[in-house]
Structure formats: structure tokens, C-alpha cells
A = this chain, B = another copy of it.
Amino acid sequence: MIPILKNDRLLRALARRPVDATPVWLMRQAGRYLPEYRQIRARAGSFLRLCENPELACEVTLQPIDRFALDAAILFSDILTIPGAMGLGLTFAEGEGPRFAHPIRSADDVNRLGVPDPESDLGYVMDAIRLIRHELDARVPLIGFAGSPWTLATYMVEGGSSTDFRHIKAMMFQEPDLTHRLLTILTDAVIGYLRAQIHAGAQVVMVFDTWGGVLSTPDYRAFSLAYLHRIVAGIRGVPIILFTKGGGAWLEEMADTDCDAIGIDWTTDMGKARKRVGKKVVLQGNVDPCILYARPERIRQEVARVLGEFGRGTGHIFNLGHGIQPHVDPERVGVLVDAVHELSIPYHGSSGSAHGTASRT
């Protein structure tokens, strides 16, 4: 039995088919701003154990879907599952972000890396996806994801989060061949991981290139975009969304990968972005996540502004330009989601009624 999606706005928008209202989902929609998330997180004991427990990961994935009129669910997980599975000793210290006990600094370190087997090494992710698909019961599509090779490499070489990226950039400038070897291994890992996620039930996949924006144009092309090209070429069967935070200068080149959609952050104008990419790709974004600290009227005003910038027609997926911050009041998230649906109706034709329409996936 192929399930029929009850809400297929996201998939319709990704296919540039008419919709009744602009679909909306939010990066980190399952997360710390939700009290019900914090409860499960406490029960799990640690962030990593929450990611690794399919039942709990499923539960937190569905929490925002139960609470808000979101048009998609996104797998609750972390981009660092891949380097974790590579044996780098991943931990998340409370309030400090990720740390790798064994960062990658030398040719020997790179040579020791193997491409993880998704079903045996990351089976808990595939189990979570299968469970989420079952529990979602076709209410909305499920998005799977991975980090970009460049972004994963920054964490693996720095040993955690960074503000100056000095180790990975020193490697890039001093040993470009070694850096490319590392990125090639990661690209193979990401392709295998996303294929397995699709096989398990992910109906859309997204690649988070969180740190591509810290590169110059030639370095972005060589060390991030080239590998995004390979990933898009390696994925079949579901739409793929690419997101390079701070990548506003490279939208045309990102579209040339033949991805289906590009996520843009709030520093890029949605209207200008649409003019630049035309009908080649769908655009996802892009309000400042901090708008969720504003009062309801101001949130609605900002939603209206971004919808107006994109203008009429399909091909827009509403989202934040980055993840929801932990201190946000969940009620404001509801205000934003409802505002997108209500205020976007005039931008869609009467023929675009999609909500509730059957669509095979």
C-alpha cells in the first residue's frame, strides 16, 4: 500500500505545482523551545541518546506536528551522526555543543576513516524514519537530512564548533589534496546515508551546508559546491533541498546542481533571489529566527513582507533562515505558521487547491 498524503502542499510546491497556500515548516521545529521536548530530552538523559533512540526520536519529531499546522515533519537527528559513526568519539557537553575526542588533523587520521554502512552503523536513524512514517500516518511528508561534506569536515577537523575555522582552513590552504580526500569520503558517506533514509521512508531530503558561507567564492566552489553537485547527482526518487547558510552570492551556481530547492537565510532578499533563479529551483525561507521574539502583529507583518517579496505563484516553501532558538515562546511559532497559511492564500490561484487533495508519494 502506498499511503496517500493528507497534506501534500510541500511536495506540490517542490514540484512547482499549484497549492492553495504556501507550505511552511521550520528548521529545528522539534527542539528545546517546546516544553514537551525538554521532558523527553530529560528522560533520554542526553541529546545523543535521544537521537539514538528511535521511539524517542519519533516522539519528538511528531511533537510540533501535533501542536502546529506545519506542512512537513523533519527527522529529529543531528548532522554529526556520520562522523559519530566513523568513530571520532562524539559527545555533546551540556550547553557547549559537540566535541570530538579524536579530531582529524593528519593524513593518517583521514586514511583511517571508513564510510559507515547506513543500516548497520546508523540503523537507529533508519529505524526512527520507519517508525515516524508509521506514526505520521501520512498527515504530512517526512524530510530526511544530512550535513554537507564541507560542514561535516569543519566539525571533524576543528574537533567541535568553531568561530575562526583555523584548523580546517589551514588544512584546506596547506594540504588541498588531503582536504579533498576527506571531503570525498564524506560525500560517499552522505550519499549512502541519504539513499538509506529515502529507502527507509524519507520523502524529501535536505543537505545542511551550515558553514559553506565562511568560504571565498573559489574556495566555496572547490571545497563545498563541487561535493553538493555529486550528492545531487547521487540521489534519485525524492526532491532534494540544498541550504548554504550565508550562501546568497551563489544561488545561481547552487541551482546549477539541479537540486529541487534552495534554502536561503534572511540576509538574502527573497524577491531578488526569485528573480535570480527564475523557475529553475524552488526557494525555501527566509525570516530571521529572532522574529519569533516579536509580538504577534509584528510576526504577521514579517510573514506578509516575505510572502509579498516572493509574490504570486507556487515554488515557495516558507521557513526561517536558520533554526528556531531555544528561548522562543511556542505560541509565537503557532502565530507564524497560521499567518503563513492565512496570508498566502491571495498569492495562489483558485485552481491551486491542494490541501486535502490525494497525491501518491
How many residues of chain A get a CB closer than 8 Å to chain B's CBs? 33
Q: How many copies does the complex hold?
A: 2
Cβ of A92 within 8 Å of any chain B Cβ, yes or no, is no
Q: Does A217 contact B (CB under 8 A)?
A: yes
**Among candidates B165, B174, B298, residue contacting A295 with C-beta atoms closer than 8 Å:** B174
A291 interfacial by beta-carbon distance below 8 Å: yes
Are B327 and A293 closer than 8 Å at their CB atoms? Answer: no
- The stretch of A108-116, A265-273, A310-318 in contact with B is A265-273
With A174-B293, A291-B173: A267-B305 Cβ-Cβ less than 8 Å? no
Once A246-B246, A249-B248 are accepted as A-B contacts, the answer to whether A170 and B267 lie under 8 Å apart by CB is: no
Contact status A166-B217, CB under 8 Å: no
CA distance A215 to B218 in the complex (A): 25
- Note all chain B residues with C-beta closer than 8 A to A325: 164, 166
Q: Which residues of the other chain, B, contact A12 by a CB distance below 8 angstroms? A: none
281-323 of chain A: CB within 8 A of chain B: 287-288, 290-291, 293-295, 298, 305
Question: Does A98 sit at the interface, judged by CB under 8 A?
Answer: no
Bound form: Cα–Cα A174–B292 in Å: 10
Dominant SS at the A interface? helix
User: Does the CB pair B298–A173 fall under 8 Å?
Assistant: yes
A135 on interface, CB distance cutoff 8 Å: no
Quick one: which of A236-275 are within 8 Å of B by CB? 246, 248-249, 266-269
24 contacts between A and B (CB under 8 A): A165-B290, A166-B293, A166-B325, A166-B327, A169-B290, A169-B293, A170-B290, A170-B293, A170-B294, A173-B290, A173-B291, A173-B293, A174-B298, A215-B267, A215-B288, A216-B267, A216-B287, A216-B288, A218-B305, A248-B248, A248-B249, A249-B249, A249-B267, A249-B268
* Given A169-B293, A215-B288, A216-B287, 5 extra CB contacts under 8 A: A173-B290, A174-B294, A215-B266, A217-B269, A246-B267
Measured CB to CB, the residues of A under 8 A from B are 164-166, 169-170, 172-174, 213-219, 246, 248-249, 266-269, 287-288, 290-291, 293-295, 298, 305, 325, 327
